Amino acid sequence: MKLIAINGSPRKNWNTATLLNKALEGAASQGAEIELINLYDLKYRGCISCFACKRKDGQHGKCAMKDDLTNILERLETADAIIFGSPIYYMNITAGMTALLERLLYSHSIYSSEIPTIYPKKIQTGFIYTMNATEKYIEESGYKLSLKPHQDFITRMLGKPVELLYSYDTYQFSNYEKYESSIFSEEAKAKQKSEQFPVDCQKAFDMGVRFATNA
Ligand SMILES: Cc1cc2nc3c(=O)[nH]c(=O)nc-3n(C[C@H](O)[C@H](O)[C@H](O)COP(=O)(O)O)c2cc1C
C-alpha cells in the first residue's frame, strides 16, 4: 500500500506539514510505503485550458503540460491513497494546491454523463486544513462552504468520499512579539498549540493508520 501526502503550504516544517507527516507516520506504522511532496519546491502552473486531455485522438487522463508537476501527476497514479494538506488562505486552499487540483482532476475528468472520471482506480483520499480561525468562528461563519467544491470534485474524480480534518486556531509565528499580531492572544495561541494541536496530530496519525489498513 502506498500513501502520498501533498503539502500545499509554502512552509515545510509548520502546521500543515506536521499533520501530514503524522498521517504518513500512521500509515508507515502499518507497513505502508509513504512519500511527502512539497508543492512549493516545484515550479508549475495551473491548467492552461489546452484541452489536450479531452481530444478524441489524444491521451485521455494525461495532462500535456510539461513542468515539475508532470512527473508528480504520474507518481500520484501509483498511490493507493492521497492526503492533501493546505493552509487556509483567504477562506480557501492555497494557490499552489488549487493549481495542482486543476491539473490532477481536470485531466482525469470526462465530459460524459456515464463516466465522469477516468482515474485508473478508486482511491482513498483525505484533506487536512490548517487555519488561524477558531472552530467557533468557522462553524458560525459558514466558511466551510467555500471548501466544498474541491472536496466534491476530489470525491467524484478519485472515487471515494474524501475524509476531512480541520486544525483550527494554529500557531502562526515563531515569535509573536516580532510581528504585528495584536488581534491574537499569544497566550491563547500557545495554549491551543500545546493542548489541541497534539490532538489534531493524533487524528492525522489515525487517518494514516486507517488508510493503510483499509486499502
Ligand atoms: C496569505 C495568507 C492568507 C491567510 N488567510 C487566512 C484565512 O482566510 N483564514 C484563516 O483562518 N487563516 C488564514 N491564514 C493563516 C493560515 O491559514 C494559518 O497560519 C495556517 O495554519 C498556516 O499553515 P502552515 O503553518 O502550514 O504554513 C492566512 C495566511 C496567509 C499567509
Identify the residue whose cell numbers are 507527516.
Answer: 21
Amino acid at residue number 140: E
> What is the pLDDT, as a whole number, of residue 168?
98
Ligand 1 center from residue 73 Cα (angstroms): 26
pLDDT at residue 145 tops 80 = yes
Please state the atom number of ligand 1 nearest to the C-alpha of residue 17.
Answer: 26
Q: What are the tens digits of pLDDT across the range 191-215?
A: 999 999 999 999 999 999 999 999 7
The region of weakest confidence among 58-72, 104-118, 130-144, 173-187 is: 104-118
Q: Is 71 helix (H, G, I), strand (E, B) or coil?
A: helix
Compute the distance between CA of residue 19 and CA of residue 208 in angstroms, rounded to an integer.
10
**What residue owns the CA closest to ligand 1's atom 22?**
87
**What residue owns the CA closest to ligand 1's atom 4?**
89
Question: Which domains are present in the chain?
Answer: 2-214 (3.40.50.360)
Kindly state the average pLDDT of the residues 180-195: 96
Q: Closest by alpha carbon to 11, among 34, 39, 45, 36?
A: 39
Compute the distance between CA of residue 106 and CA of residue 103 in angstroms, rounded to an integer.
6
Q: List C-alpha distances in Å: 44 to 2, 10, 132.
A: 24, 14, 27
Kindly state the average pLDDT of the residues 169-194: 96
Q: What are the tens digits of pLDDT across the range 23-51?
A: 999 999 999 999 999 999 999 999 999 99
Pocket test for ligand 1, best of 83, 89, 176 (most atoms within 8 A of CB): 89
* Helix or strand holding residue 167 (H, E): strand 163-167
> What is the pLDDT, as a whole number, of residue 116?
79
C-alpha cell at 19: 499533520
CA 121 to chain centre: 19
Quote the mean pLDDT of the chain.
95
Residues with CB under 6 A from ligand 1: 9, 11, 14-17, 87-91, 130-133, 170, 172
Compute the distance between CA of residue 81 and CA of residue 77 in angstroms, rounded to an integer.
10
Pocket test for ligand 1, best of 83, 90, 140, 141 (most atoms within 8 A of CB): 90
> What is the pLDDT, as a whole number, of residue 114?
74
Q: Closest by alpha carbon to 53, among 157, 164, 136?
A: 157
C-alpha cell at 205: 496519525
> What is the pLDDT, as a whole number, of residue 117?
86
Q: In the chain, pLDDT over 70 holds for what percent of residues? A: 100
**What residue owns the CA closest to ligand 1's atom 28?**
89
Q: In the chain, pLDDT over 90 holds for what percent of residues? A: 91
Kindly state the average pLDDT of the residues 96-123: 91
